[in-house]
Structure 1
Amino acid sequence: MILKELDNVPAADRFSVAGHKAEKALAFYLKRGFGRDKKFHVLNGIRLEHDDDAVQIDHLILHPYGFIIVESKSVHDTVHIDRHGHWCRTFKGQRKGMGSPILQAERQTDFLKDIFEDRREEVIGTLFGIQQGLGGRTYDVLVAISDNGRITCERGALDPRICKADEVVDRVRSIYKGYKPSLSLLDSRPKFRLADMDSIATFLVENHRPVGTDAPPVVEPSPWPGFGLRSEPELAPETPRRPAKTPPEPTHTCGKCGDGGDLRILWGPYGYYFKCGACGGNTKAQATCGACGKPARVRKQGRAFFAECQACGTSRAYFSNPPEDADAAE
Structure 2
Amino acid sequence: MILKTKSLQTTSTPQAIAGQKQEQDVAFFLRRAFKDNPEVLVINDFKFSFNDETAQIDHLIVYTYGFVLIESKSIKGHVKVNNQGEWTRSYNSQWAGMPSPIKQVELQQALLKEMLKHHKSEILSKLLGIKQQGFNGRCWHYLCAVSSNAVIDRKTMPKEISDKLFKTEFLVDELKSIMNLKHKIIRLMNVADTRPDFNQQELDSIGQFLISQHIDSNIQQANHAPVERKQIQPIANTPELELALETASAPTYQLAQSNTAMPQAVATLTPEQHPILSCKHCGESTQYTPMYGKFGYYINCNQCSKNTAMKQACPHCMSKNTKVTKRKETYTLNCVDCGFEKRII
Class of the TM-score when normalised by the shorter of the 2 chains: 0.5 to 0.7
Give the aligned partner of residue 173 of structure 2: 170
* Match status 1:159 vs 2:162: yes
Give the aligned partner of residue 196 of structure 1: 202
8 A Cα contact 2:82 2:158, kept in partner: no
8 A Cα contact 1:2 1:41, kept in partner: yes
Secondary structure in structure 2 of the residue aligned to 1:107: helix
8 A Cα contact 1:254 1:282, kept in partner: no
* Structure having the larger proportion of residues in helix: 2
Quote the Cα distance in structure 1 between the aligned partners of 2:126 and 2:295. Answer: 14
* Match status 1:253 vs 2:313: yes
Give the aligned partner of residue 150 of structure 1: 151
8 A Cα contact 1:121 1:131, kept in partner: no
Secondary structure in structure 2 of the residue aligned to 1:223: strand
1:25-46 CA distances to partner (integer Å, 9 max, x unpaired)? 1111111111212221111000
8 A Cα contact 1:106 1:141, kept in partner: yes
Quote the Cα distance in structure 1 between the aligned partners of 2:95 and 2:188. Answer: 46
1:108-166 CA distances to partner (integer Å, 9 max, x unpaired)? 11010111122223433566777653341111001001111111131475622111011
Quote the Cα distance in structure 2 between the aligned partners of 1:280 and 1:160. Answer: 55
Query: Which amino acid in 1 is paired with 2:174?
Result: R
Quote the Cα distance in structure 1 between the aligned partners of 2:109 and 2:144. Answer: 13
Quote the Cα distance in structure 2 between the aligned partners of 1:99 and 1:87. Answer: 7
1:275-306 CA distances to partner (integer Å, 9 max, x unpaired)? 8655697999xxxxxxxxxxxxxxxxxxxxxx
Quote the Cα distance in structure 2 between the aligned partners of 1:124 and 1:182. Answer: 22
Deviation at 1:213, TM superposition (A): 3.8
Give the aligned partner of residue 24 of structure 1: 24
Secondary structure in structure 2 of the residue aligned to 1:192: coil
Quote the Cα distance in structure 1 between the aligned partners of 2:17 and 2:8. Answer: 11
Secondary structure in structure 1 of the residue aligned to 2:44: strand
Secondary structure in structure 2 of the residue aligned to 1:75: coil
Give the aligned partner of residue 239 of structure 1: none
* C-alpha spacing 1:19/1:261, structure 2 compared with 1 (3 Å): closer
Deviation at 1:83, TM superposition (A): 2.1
Quote the Cα distance in structure 2 between the aligned partners of 1:178 and 1:77. Answer: 35
Deviation at 1:188, TM superposition (A): 3.7
Matches within 5 A, 1:207-226: 207-211=213-217, 213=219, 223=290
User: For this pair of structures, how many residues does the alignment match?
Assistant: 256
* C-alpha spacing 1:169/1:258, structure 2 compared with 1 (3 Å): farther
Give the aligned partner of residue 247 of structure 2: none
Quote the Cα distance in structure 1 between the aligned partners of 2:188 and 2:131. Answer: 30
* C-alpha spacing 1:277/1:114, structure 2 compared with 1 (3 Å): farther
8 A Cα contact 1:42 1:62, kept in partner: yes
After superposition, the CA RMSD in angstroms is 3.6
Quote the Cα distance in structure 1 between the aligned partners of 2:341 and 2:210. Answer: 28
Gaps of 5+ in 1: 232-251, 266-273, 285-330
Query: Which amino acid in 2 is paired with 1:230?
Result: F
Query: Which amino acid in 2 is paired with 1:195?
Result: Q
* C-alpha spacing 1:222/1:97, structure 2 compared with 1 (3 Å): closer
* C-alpha spacing 1:46/1:78, structure 2 compared with 1 (3 Å): same
1:6-62 CA distances to partner (integer Å, 9 max, x unpaired)? 112111422111110100011111111112122211110000011221100000011
Give the aligned partner of residue 289 of structure 1: none
Give the aligned partner of residue 254 of structure 2: none
Give the aligned partner of residue 293 of structure 2: 228
Give the aligned partner of residue 136 of structure 1: 137
Bigger radius of gyration, 1 or 2?
2
1:218-254 CA distances to partner (integer Å, 9 max, x unpaired)? 6976535xx33338xxxxxxxxxxxxxxxxxxxx722
Quote the Cα distance in structure 2 between the aligned partners of 1:259 and 1:230. Answer: 21
Deviation at 1:82, TM superposition (A): 1.3
Query: Which amino acid in 1 is paired with 2:164?
Result: R
